[in-house]
Copies of this chain bind each other. A is one copy, B any other.
Amino acid sequence: MEDKTLRIDEATIVFSEKPELTEPVLIEGLPGVGNVGKLAAEHLIDEIGATKFADIYSTDFPPQVFVRDDGTIKLARNELYYWKGPVDLVILTGDYQGLSTRGQYVLVQSILQLVQEYGTRRIYTLGGYGVGVEVDEPTVTGAATHPELIEELEEYGIVFKDKGGGGIVGASGLLLGIGTMMDMEGVCLMGETSGYMVDPGSARAVLEILASILDVDIGYAKLEEKAEEISKIAQRIKQLEQSGGADEEAGDLHYIG
């Protein structure tokens, strides 16, 4: 199935399937603040039953393999899924973003070129918006490529107010910034999050708005479970910190995702 003479370069896409898609909407959720984007993208993939059709390798991903629970390995990669529905979707997720400035640009441009061939016109990138304090009811802030999109999407409850000259770093920003030059339009949906822990609650807030925009119907039970699990861990960390102890025991829990 895979090319035996394949050489991984700055962005090497290996297809396991070449689906037929009609102007698919591109959705991106890669690791970032609170892991909100990745959690949301992965949950969406599970809930709608999207199918993986390509792996993306890069000399700009960490030079390492991940060891799965069964003892087998997996090379650092990003993954592309598709879903055929009222609106076709292509979903980008993975465990890594490019490590270098140039790598970020090259990876994003390769992905945009791929979806451009499918006719993609609309992009939603998903991420977290760190506010430094715990958030009970996370709002979803947006940033758009075009003013008309803001008008169109404000009715879904996305806040497009002044972020005080902030920036969106990484794939969530670049996909939109470079996508604009390739005649695409899009929005970055950022769930409010403390930024200190993975945040399934913020991922849910983002996903509820996205599902509403895309008019797909999904459940949130798994995100809910994760949120409760994280919440318990957070409480335990607090207790440990208040009792002055056991930083080490708690330390690894921050990154459970």
Binding site for B on A (CB under 8 A): 2-8, 14, 59-67, 69-76, 98-102, 104-106, 108-109, 113, 116, 142-147, 150, 160-163, 165-170, 173-174, 176-178, 180-183, 188
Known contacts A71-B161, A163-B67, A60 near B168 by CB under 8 Å: no
A188 CB to closest chain B CB (Å) equals 7
Known contacts A62-B101, A168-B65, A143 near B73 by CB under 8 Å: yes
Chain B residues whose C-beta falls within 8 Å of the C-beta of A182 in the assembled complex: 4-6
- Expressed in whole angstroms, the Cα–Cα distance for A150 and B73 within the complex equals 11
The residue that A4 contacts in the complex, of B102, B109, B183, with Cβ under 8 A, is B183
Chain B residues whose C-beta falls within 8 Å of the C-beta of A8 in the assembled complex: 105, 109, 178
Q: Which of A145, A147, A167 has the largest count of B CB atoms less than 10 A from its CB?
A: A167
A144 lies within 8 A of B73 (CB): yes
Q: Which residue of B lies closest to A77 (CB)?
A: B177
12 new A-B contacts, CB < 8 A, other than A63-B174, A67-B168, A76-B177, are: A4-B116, A14-B181, A59-B102, A60-B102, A64-B169, A64-B174, A67-B143, A67-B166, A71-B142, A71-B143, A72-B144, A75-B180
A37 CB to closest chain B CB (Å) equals 15
Known contacts A59-B102, A109-B8, A168 near B71 by CB under 8 Å: no
Q: Which residue of B lies closest to A150 (CB)?
A: B71
The residue that A65 contacts in the complex, of B100, B160, B176, with Cβ under 8 A, is B176
The residue that A73 contacts in the complex, of B2, B168, B170, with Cβ under 8 A, is B168
Chain B residues whose C-beta falls within 8 Å of the C-beta of A161 in the assembled complex: 71
- Expressed in whole angstroms, the Cα–Cα distance for A73 and B71 within the complex equals 42
B150 lies within 8 A of A72 (CB): yes
- Expressed in whole angstroms, the Cα–Cα distance for A101 and B9 within the complex equals 12
A106 lies within 8 A of B59 (CB): yes
A77 CB to closest chain B CB (Å) equals 9
Q: Which of A105, A116, A143 has the largest count of B CB atoms less than 10 A from its CB?
A: A105
The residue that A101 contacts in the complex, of B63, B73, B142, B166, with Cβ under 8 A, is B63
Chain B residues whose C-beta falls within 8 Å of the C-beta of A102 in the assembled complex: 59-60
